[in-house]
A and B are shown apart, each in its own frame.
Chain A
Amino acid sequence: MIVPLSWLKEYVEIDITPQELEKKLFDCGFEVETLTQTGGDISGVVVGEVLSLEPIPETHLSVCQVNCGEHGNFQICCGADNVKAGGKYPVALVGAQVYATARDHVTVEGLMKIKKGKLKGFESFGMLCSGIEIGLNEDLYPGADYCGLLVLPEDAPVGADIKPVVGLDDWLFDVSITANRPDCMSMLGIAREVAAALGKPLKMPATDYKTDGTELSGFRVSVEAPDLCPRYSAHYVRNIRIAESPAWMRRRLALVGIRSISNIVDITNYVLKEIGQPMHAFDLRDLTGQQIVVRRAAEGEKIVTLDEKEFSLNPANLVICDGEKPVALAGIMGGLNSGIKDDTADVVFESAKFMRDNIRKTSRALGQHSDSSQRFEKGVDEYATQLGLKRALHLIEELQCGSITETGIAVSENRNPDTTRPLSVSVSKINALLGITIPDDEILRILTNLCFAPQIDGDTLSIQIPPYREDIENAPDIAEELIRMYGYDHIQPTFLAAASVTNGGRNAAQSSLMKLKRVLCAQGLYETIHYSFYSQKDLDLLKLPADAPQRQAIRLLNPISEDLSIMRTMLAPSMVNAVIRNVRRGNDSGRLFEIAKTYHSQEEHPTQEPEEREALSIALFDGGKVSFFDGKAVTEAIADAFRLQFTYRKPEDSEKYPFLHPGMSAELLLDGSVIGWLGMLAHDISDAEVPEHAVFLAELDLTALRPHLLSELHFAALPKYPVVQRDIALLVSEKILCADLEAVMKRSCKSLSSVTLFDVYKGKQITAGKQSLAFSLTFRSDDHPFTDSEIDQFVAKILKNLSKEFEAEQR
């Protein structure tokens, strides 16, 4: 919220610099996002008096001799039509900075520096300026919009800096206001805080007015939806004279970014900014039946707002109606059918409290926002409703633009919104929460400055909460008021002096997850994090059919975009996209993993939190060099690290994995259950997205795996006698699986402690359809040393069984 220093000074005496004030506001909870000076872009412009001027023949230009006081007399060429000898104008001296305007002399096109020039042979030492060129407009300074020179008052001191002369020396504080302090969303609200922080008295704006004694009999206000409108007040003002607002009001509105329209509209805007109360004015002529009804809109009821937009409403929207029809969208914007016109003579002013949530919802649903709706969304208090209306009526009187009648109606449960609320709290409890002791006299000083009328009796602090402080409810609220004014620098660090000692750290499951991550890093993988949402398009990328279970994803009701609209049911699409992104950026190799949640809706219990499962996704790419077995090495590293036995099998239903190479893909099993899959990315996907690249992909269900990651380490005794190794080469059908051969070998001999495949050969040397597999066998005995013949017998038995089961021949 923009707060001009000059406006703030209306309510509180400020004898510190703007920078000091910024610090004060910051310390008590109001961060000033920017502090700028009006006219901050302008420099080197002074008041000049044209002593004489000489027209340059056959041009619109004149050569002026200009007195710039202490800066000297200068010859300046000028083309403005309103330059006169004896007139006083802003003079940009050589080296000055002003705004550059387009040919229309109105549109600002950045800044320019003034240089010595020569026009038609006449030297010119500076520039006489228009209002626009020094950053003014008609609202900030009357006459500033004229496209000739800005005429300065006769008493302007020659040679003086122009800024104080035309009010360009103000400071604008852009104050950030937290959601608990809607009462500070106004000049008065900030002034209260400044007065409290500086210990200065607050000067309230005048709210007195006289009525003309007349009444509008029959004028009625009824509120049919008090839950959405706890207070509605209306006041009838007659004999309206629509005119321009006075310069002081126009200037203030301009400083906070509001364009002046007419006195009546400006008063409503002024009260919004000054008191923080949105106001509205209806033309009484347009109120059928001279009545106001506040009610929920009927289904399909229509309204056209002042900006000529039509809306179709429903009972969730609150409307202000006359005897027949809606005349305003409550708290958001008036209706086109009842606004202030040039010939408006009788006005009903509205000052109401509408519930913030309702205004927010309607405003969002309709996409219709205004200064008023933005203010209501933060919450207004009933006190401001009353204060705002009184202030508006005072301004009517001050601006002499209407005659205030006796007819003022307020509909509210709360008869007296000025009432304070009493609260008693324990001083020691407040100090205990803060951990320091604020002296009683400081407590009294701070709370007095904040208008809480404090009294301390023993340990009891009694206060009267001002009506606008709806945020104050209990002792911690008072503690916060005290410490923000007393200063957070009084807080001295302590180290849980009173707290119990507790046992901290990760639990076993959390530690095992970190171990898993480190195991993957040791395999050269980088950890990645991807968004938890993606789109059906990402599942298309993996060629998943329309009925694939992964498509049963939880959808966001309000996604940022379709690309981020469903919650991930699997991690692989994000991983494939990460590989694609890397390859497109010229990163030719990478080993990546991600551990993240996948989300699965509970069809039977739609209101319950969905099931969140944890998954591990892996991708390896390195040009064409990555193989299935490079990837399997990673899953086996996991098995090794946690002493698990993974088994692998070709997927029973390869259609489940349309994104994997049908010949190079597997399901990963633990204790007989499938807990994941792995394989090479299908050619049709890799060729299209990352040509020349082979990509290994895997995804494991960590929720299923995690209980198995908790195993503890145990030492196994070393062999008592030397182990014996024998190599065998087998000729078997290509269809025989390595794992099946290994299983038979192990079954054939108890002393066989490990079997390792070390060579595979297919080709000319052997029969088509066959493969040669060479295994290294390790035999171990813990009760006697092996003899050669013993080993020979083992091998013979193994070969015999292999031959029986698989027709395997020794090569």
Chain B
Amino acid sequence: MEKQIKAMREKIEQAAAAIQDSKEMYQLRKQYLDNKAGQISALMKNMRDLAPEERPAFGKIVNELKTWALDFFTEQDARLKAAELAKKNAAEQIDVTMPASPHTAGALHPNTLIANELIDIFAGMGFTVFEGPEIENDYYNFTALNTPKDHPARDMQDTFYVSPELLLRTQTSAGQIRVMENTKPPIKILSPGKVFRSDDDATHSPMFSQMEGLVVDKGITLCDLQGMLDVFAQNVFGKNVKTRLRPSYFPFTEPSVEVDVSCFSCGGCGCRLCKDTGWIEVLGAGMVNRKVLENCGIDPDEYTGFAFGMGIERIAMLKYGIPNIKMLFESDTRVLSQFSE
């Protein structure tokens, strides 16, 4: 009997030694250890042919064989699987310095990125977003903004007309009036959108985008405008950027200012970006003209306000270093792909 057991053990060892594949080894394992059809299980069935007194001893050696076989096959399986894994890994070597697979992420337009950034900054300060029509009435674009027909400021912007009374808005300020006519102060709005001017050269595009901001409430001061512009400039251009107001003129604000930011490229020492002045002009602003408030039915003795307007392309070009405004409208995928987030 013991001989028979020993022979089986040797047979298993011999068979296993010839196997190099874990799946074959599993088949071999099944051949001996399968609960129903395995040869070791079959030995156990032989037990009933034995005399009762012989049974415990027989049971013991068969169990020993089974224990041995379980360990043996576990060990064999581990050995073969390790070899197989090593072989598989060896076959799958790559050159990690090769280029990455092409990405499929799209990208928002630089103008949208800037507009989003501005909206996020000002939304946190309580501004809502208003979008007005692009084909505007002369009244909203000019007259209500204190720019009557004979006003020389109309020359500041060459206007596209579609009829004597209708034009392509030259400024998002047109939206100010639509808001102030229909809303009582406090008003805090941002008005982003396309504007159009009859200018087409290396630095001008006949269509571009502006972001207009307007605050009307009791007790609004020029100092508040400066404070808000500081927040804007530091968020958009960097913590250490300063703003500078200098006198200017817009018909719809009084006093009017041009706003410069200290050059974020050179820190104000002078470089090519700031044309050696240390400052970069970024927007126009001012206290809302009394007449504009009156035109909208807001009492200028009770309320004051400020407004500011900036060119989104200008901010994008400054911030991202885009050299030519036309690049923003050409849809060249080599340009657009640089703005994926």
Contacts and interface: CB of A to CB of B under 8 A. Distances in A.
Interface of A: 26-29, 31, 178-182, 355-357, 360, 377-379, 432-436, 474-477, 479-480, 483-484, 488, 491-507, 510, 514, 517-518, 520-533, 554-560, 564, 567, 578, 581-582, 585, 587, 589-592, 597, 599, 606-607, 609-610, 612
A562 B152 CA distance: 28
B90 interface: no
Contacts of A506: 119, 123, 128-129
Given A434-B221, A488-B245, A483 B255 contact: yes
Given A498-B219, A523-B106, A532 B207 contact: yes
A526 B249 contact: no
Contacts of A525: 106
Interface stretch (B51-59, B63-71, B133-141): B133-141
B188 A502 contact: yes
B248 A433 contact: no
Given A432-B221, A612-B135, A521 B188 contact: no
B107 interface: yes
Given A29-B246, A514-B116, A612-B134, A527 B223 contact: no
21 contacts: A28-B247, A432-B219, A433-B304, A434-B221, A434-B222, A435-B221, A435-B224, A479-B255, A488-B244, A491-B245, A497-B224, A510-B131, A521-B107, A524-B105, A529-B331, A531-B207, A560-B200, A578-B331, A591-B106, A607-B165, A607-B166
Given A379-B152, A488-B244, A582 B135 contact: no
Contact of A436 (B128, B198, B223, B334): B223
Given A179-B153, A556-B161, A564-B206, A496 B106 contact: no
A181 B249 contact: yes
The number of chain B residues touching the other chain, given as a range, is: 35 or more
A494 B227 contact: yes
B223 A435 contact: yes
Nearest to B337: A526
Contact of B220 (A357, A496, A578, A590): A496
Contacts of B304: 432-433
Interface of B: 104-109, 111-112, 116, 119, 122-129, 131, 133-137, 149-153, 155-156, 160-163, 165-166, 168, 186, 188, 194, 196, 198, 200, 206-207, 209, 215, 217-224, 226-231, 244-249, 251, 254-257, 287, 289-290, 304, 328-334, 336-337, 339-341
Given A483-B247, A607-B165, 7 more contacts: A28-B247, A360-B152, A493-B227, A493-B229, A496-B224, A505-B129, A557-B160
Contacts of A499: 186, 188, 215, 217-220, 224
B270 to A, nearest CB: 14
A488 B246 CA distance: 6
Closest 6 CB pairs of A and B: A435-B221, A498-B219, A435-B223, A357-B150, A29-B247, A480-B255
A582 B206 contact: no
Main SS class of interface, B: mixed
Nearest to A561: B200
A526 B135 contact: no
Nearest to B334: A587
A428 B227 CA distance: 21
Contacts of B166: 607, 609-610
Contacts of A589: 333
Nearest to B136: A609
B249 A180 contact: yes
A489 B112 CA distance: 33
B220 A480 contact: no
Contacts of A433: 221-222, 287, 304
B255 A484 contact: yes
A590 B330 CA distance: 13
B267 to A, nearest CB: 19
Nearest to A436: B223
Contact of B134 (A521, A527, A597): A597
A675 to B, nearest CB: 21
A494 B231 CA distance: 10
A500 B186 contact: yes
Nearest to B231: A495
B162 A556 contact: yes
B80 to A, nearest CB: 35
Contacts of A477: 254
A343 to B, nearest CB: 40
Given A504-B122, A612-B134, A498 B217 contact: yes
